[in-house]
Amino acid sequence: MEWAMIRSLTARERKDASAAAIFLLPNLVGFLVFMVGPTIGSIAISFSSWSLLNAPTFAGLQNYSDLLKDSVFWQTLGNTAYYVFVKVPLNMFLSLLLASFLNKEIHGRNALRTIFFLPMVASSVSVALIWQPLLDPTSGMVNKLLSFIHLGPYPWILSPNWAMPSVIMVATWKELGYFMVIFLAGLQGISSTYYEAAEIDGANAVQSFWHITVPLISPTTFFVLITSIIGSFQIFDLTTVLTNGGPANATNTLVMYVYQAGFKFFRMGYASAVAYALFVIILAFTLIQNQLSKRWVHY
């Protein structure tokens, strides 16, 4: 009997593989040509010295050894890490909370969901352009409103200490709705029977949240965590337009450095190397999260 099972398993796996080929093919072909191809190209560029105006010249590992000694690299990495490690947990927590509230039957739920999602619809550039005047310390709306409740005035984007928190605040404003939507999709998948059973057992809202919602939504949480970390490490538009990396380099991020090096300093080879250093860092984090996820993600 076990022999039959093993044989059928292998047969099934063979069938799986050929089916997989068909299911994968459309995406895989495009992926290889338009994603992997350029990636390999840019890895090659990272081993070169390229001004863009002339042909690239081979540079071996020079770029990589240079970036280890580059204080700007380390500083932008630090700024980026600051951004990621504050914004990601903050956003995730707030958006999960929001999603669970807006998953209930309450009046005006659709309107509220739309409102929270609205900021996501604008590009990061537009968001930064909208927020810049609001954060003006002397007469911006934010300080004005805060003054009504006797708070402030705060320097926001004009102070090196406040600049990154301001960026995090604006980024949260923008992305809250986005992660809320993803969590909502995940919450749809939780059967109501769990909650009904819990209610019968006398659980209150907070207990239901921690013991039902959080575990059952863990695959979605994992997805949100990974994509949020990956995306946040690459922060670029917001800091460029809102603060231009300042003041005093407080909000200069890694990808900004990559872009400047490649397109303003005529060092595309070096820029690519910095980008791949970032890649290695993000990959390391993702793998760590993946390992840790085996403990808290339930499929």
Partner 1 sequence: MGRKLDNQEVPMQKTVIFVAMFFATAVFSFAGGKAESATSTAPQTTTVQYAFWGNPVAIGVEDDIIKAFEAKNPSVKIEPVVSGYDDYHTKLLTLIAGGAAPDVMRIDSYFFADFLKAGALREISDLIKKANINLSSYYPEGVEENSHNGKVYGLPWGTAPLYMLVNLKMLHDAGLSLPPMNWNWNDFATMVKKLTKGSGPEKQYGFAIPLQNISSILPFVWENGGGLFDKSRQHFTLDQPAAYEALQKLAALFSAGDMPQDSLNANGDVLARWFVNNKLAMYEGAASDILNLQKVPGTEFEAIAMPNGTIKQTTVYKSNIVGISPETKHLNQAWTFLQFLRGPSGEGETLYMKAHRIPPTIDNPKYWAMYADPTKYPKLIAQNTTEISDTYGRLLPLRAGWLEVQQMLTPALQSVFLGQMSAESAMKAVAPKIQAVLDRAGKK
Partner 2 sequence: MGQLRHYLMNRNLLRVTLYVGLIVAAFAILLPLLWAVSTSFKSYPDVLAHPYQLLPRSLHPANYVEAFKTIPFLTYFLNTVKVSFFTCLGTLITSAMAAYAFARLRFPGRDALFLIYLSTLMIPRQVVLIPNFIIMKTLHLLDTHWSLILTGIFTAYGTFLLRQFFLTIPNELEEAAIIDGYGYARRFTQIILPLSQPALVTLFIITLLNIWNEFLFALVFINSDAKRTLTLGLAILRGDFDVQWNLVMAATLLSILPLVLIFLAAQRFFIEGIALSGVKG
For partner 1, the binding residue among 92, 112, 158, 216 (CB under 8 A) is 158
Tokens 């700024």 identify what position? 79
Q: Does 266 bind partner 1 (CB under 8 A)?
A: yes
Contact call for residue 4 and partner 2 (CB under 8 A)? no
Q: Is 101 in the site for partner 2 (CB under 8 A)?
A: yes
Cβ closest to partner 2, residue 162 vs residue 178:
178
| Partners of 49 in the β-ladder | 57
Selected binder of partner 2 within 6, 11, 19, 61 (CB under 8 A): 19
Q: CB under 8 A: which stretch of 18-26, 110-118, 216-224, 262-270 binds partner 1?
A: 262-270
**Residues 45 and 217 sit within 8 Å (Cβ to Cβ):** no
End-to-end Cα spacing for the chain:
30
Instruction: Rule CB under 8 A: choose which of 64, 82, 154, 195 binds partner 2.
Output: 195
Taking the C-alpha atoms of residue 98 and residue 224, their distance in angstroms, rounded to an integer, is 14
List the helix and strand counts (H, then E) for the chain.
15, 2
How far apart are alpha carbons 82 and 250 in whole angstroms?
A: 10
Among partner 2, partner 1, none, residue 246 binds (CB under 5-8 Å by kind): partner 1
Asked if residue 238 binds partner 2 (CB under 8 A), the reply is no
**Which H helix or E strand runs over 293?**
helix 268-296
Residue 246 sits in the site that holds partner 1 (CB under 8 A): yes
User: Which one of partner 2, partner 1, none is in contact with 292 (Cβ closer than 5 to 8 A by kind)?
Assistant: none
Residue in 104, 150, 264, 294 binding partner 1, rule: CB under 8 A = 264
Structure tokens at 266: 């005529």
Task: Give the x/- contact pattern for partner 2 in 119-158, rule: CB under 8 A.
Answer: xxxxx-xxx-xxx-xx-x-xxxx--xx-------------
- Residue with Cβ nearer partner 1 (66 or 209): 66
**By CB under 8 A, is residue 288 in contact with partner 2?**
no
The residues, any chain, with a CB within 8 Å of residue 92's CB and separated by 6 or more, are 179, 221, 224, 225, 228
Binding mask 135-154 for partner 1 (x = CB under 8 A): -xxxx---------------
| CB of residue 115 to partner 1, shortest distance in Å | 21
SS3 of 18-72: the string is HHHHHHHHHHHHHHHHHHHHHHHHHHHHHCEECCCCCCCEECCCHHHHHHHCCHH
Per-residue tokens: 67: 């970036």
Pairing of strands 48-49, 57-58: antiparallel
Stretch that binds partner 1, among 13-21, 86-94, 155-163, 174-182 (CB under 8 A): 155-163
Which helix (H) or strand (E) is 210 found in, with range? none
Using the minimum distance from each CB to partner 1, give the nearer residue, 224 or 268.
Answer: 268
Q: Does residue 21 touch partner 2 according to CB under 8 A?
A: yes
